[in-house]
Amino acid sequence: DAKTTQPTSMDCAEGRAANLPCNHSTISGNEYVYWYRQIHSQGPQYIIHGLKNNETNEMASLIITEDRKSSTLILPHATLRDTAVYYCIVRVDWKWGGATNKLIFGTGTLLAVQP
Amino acid sequence: GAVVSQHPSWVICKSGTSVKIECRSLDFQATTMFWYRQFPKQSLMLMATSNEGSKATYEQGVEKDKFLINHASLTLSTLTVTSAHPEDSSFYICSAIDSGNYGYTFGSGTRLTVV
């Protein structure tokens, strides 16, 4: 699975949009970009995933560049409860992962939403 | 949505004793579950892949005789930390693949403290 690079930490003002970048320059054609977050002392929570088109759900938007070498997770109106570590993971869709279905986490970005 | 229940949420045990952690998929069947360990201020580290009805697959460096994994049914996987020592104190998290969801659903984690 392709490796990702994320900033170690970011700050965001409450009510503002939080834009979290992720570089994945070695991504393969069949690899998806997944985003998870982990609030302190809890298990990770799925946010969104995409292949090449931009995606939006009730939690966030995912913008993937045309060359697919980077992406940005957007939380449109950050709240204090969005303070968490955000993980960007690149891998083939689990349906085709077979024996390699394991999900490997990098170091992630600690997003601190400030009041 | 898919729910993974993990029990207990925290446990304190004496050095040398064994501790069992349960991971249950509540509303779906999970042929594959994963066990992670997380030390303070670090990312999740995959320990092993648990497969229903067969032996678990351990990641390199994880002692299979120390971390016993049993996946006897499609809704339950257990992790037993045998002869626990203070260095085994950590946050243990399980995950399961839900074929009807976006793949990976995580439990809320178990905080193990060995004294």
Query: Residue for token digits 């257990």?
Result: B78
> Does position B8 have pLDDT exceeding 80, yes or no?
yes
Query: In the prediction, which pLDDT does A4 show?
Result: 94
Query: In the prediction, which pLDDT does A83 show?
Result: 98
The shortest CB-CB distance from A94 to any of B43, B97, B108 is to B97
Any B CB within 8 A of A106 CB = yes
How many cross-chain Cβ pairs, A to B, lie less than 8 Å apart? 52
Q: B83 — alpha (psi -120 to 50), left (phi > 0) or beta?
A: left
pLDDT one-digit tens code per residue, B35-63: 999 999 999 999 999 888 889 999 999 99
- Determine whether the interchain pair B34/A41 forms a contact, defined as Cβ–Cβ distance below 8 Å: no
Contact A92, A1 (CB under 8 A): yes
| Range A77-91 average pLDDT | 95
A103 chain-B contacts, CB cut-off 8 A: 34, 46, 95, 104
Any B CB within 8 A of A49 CB = yes
Bridge-partner residues for B93, per DSSP? B36
Q: How many CA atoms lie within 13 A of A86 on its CB side?
A: 33
- Determine whether the interchain pair A43/B49 forms a contact, defined as Cβ–Cβ distance below 8 Å: no
Contacts of B53 (CB under 8 A, 6+ apart): B71, B72
- Determine whether the interchain pair A105/B108 forms a contact, defined as Cβ–Cβ distance below 8 Å: no
Report the residue of A1, A6, A9, A38 to disrupt the B interface, i.e. the one with the largest count of B CBs within 10 Å.
A38
- Residue of chain B whose Cα is closest to the Cα of A108: B43
Contact A44, A87 (CB under 8 A): yes
Contact B79, A15 (CB under 8 A): no
Strand (E) positions, A1-115? Answer: 9-13, 18-23, 31-38, 45-50, 55-56, 61-64, 70-75, 84-92, 109-114
- Residue B43 in tokens: 């990312």
- Determine whether the interchain pair B108/A43 forms a contact, defined as Cβ–Cβ distance below 8 Å: yes
pLDDT one-digit tens code per residue, A24-75: 999 988 889 999 999 998 999 999 999 998 999 999 999 999 999 999 999 9
Query: In the prediction, which pLDDT does B53 show?
Result: 84
Any B CB within 8 A of A25 CB = no
Bridge-partner residues for B112, per DSSP? B11, B90
pLDDT one-digit tens code per residue, B56-103: 999 999 999 999 999 989 899 999 999 999 999 999 999 998 766 657
Angle CA A44–A48–A50, to nearest 5: 135
A49 chain-B contacts, CB cut-off 8 A: 102
Q: Distances from the Cα of A17 to the Cαs of A60, A82, B40, B73, B91, in angstroms?
A: 10, 11, 28, 44, 31
